[in-house]
Amino acid sequence: MKLNSMILASVLAAAPAMTFAQDWTGPYAGFQIGGSDIDVDDGLEVDGDGPSYGIFAGYNVQAGTLVYGGELDYDVTEYDIANGTAEVDSTTRLKGRVGTELGGGLAYGTAGIVWATSPELGDDNGYLFGVGYDLPVTPNMTFGAEVLQHQFEDYNDLGLDVGVTTVKARVSFSF
């Protein structure tokens, strides 16, 4: 998780002190990079970790200081489980977001559904929840960070309960 903490610190340090009055309503899209820590609850210590990178798109609606919306994202992952015994190739997430303006940016909570693809373990879906923060750097561009917790109960009927904590740095563009 040290890599994840360094990514989050880099995003927040790179954010300029100047902020913009932001209207959060409308579509946005961007790219993200991060890393994950994987905990498999099977009693055999087959945990793992790895980097990810991907794209996302969503739509927000602002009502006063409340901002809500939805987002779809896709990550190519290089998750290594049990020292290479299994890998996760990709994740796709469908998320709802609710937040408020804070410190010139948008602080939000998120929850949704996640799908994971593994050549060795098969494909399965689970749920996720997390928090994030987006800070405008121009009227149409934001830097952000997001921390997500994913849960897969009985992954692909294999008797494996899998938890994945992901930390991401994000750049998005509104249009």
The model's pLDDT over 108-142, given as tens digits with 9 standing for 90+, comes to 999 999 999 999 989 999 999 999 999 999 999 99
Model confidence pLDDT, tens digit, residues 70-106:
999 999 998 888 777 888 999 999 999 999 999 899 9
C-beta neighbour count of 9 within 10 angstroms: 12
Q: Is 161 exposed, middle or buried (CB count within 10 Å of its CB: 0-12, 13-18, 19+)?
A: middle
- Token pair recorded at residue 37: 């820590």
pTM of the model: 0.84
Calculate ∠ Cα 10-15-18, nearest 5°: 165
What mean pLDDT is predicted for residues 4-32?
A: 68
Average pLDDT of the chain is 88
Query: Measured between alpha carbons, how far is 130 from 147 in angstroms, rounded to an integer?
Result: 6
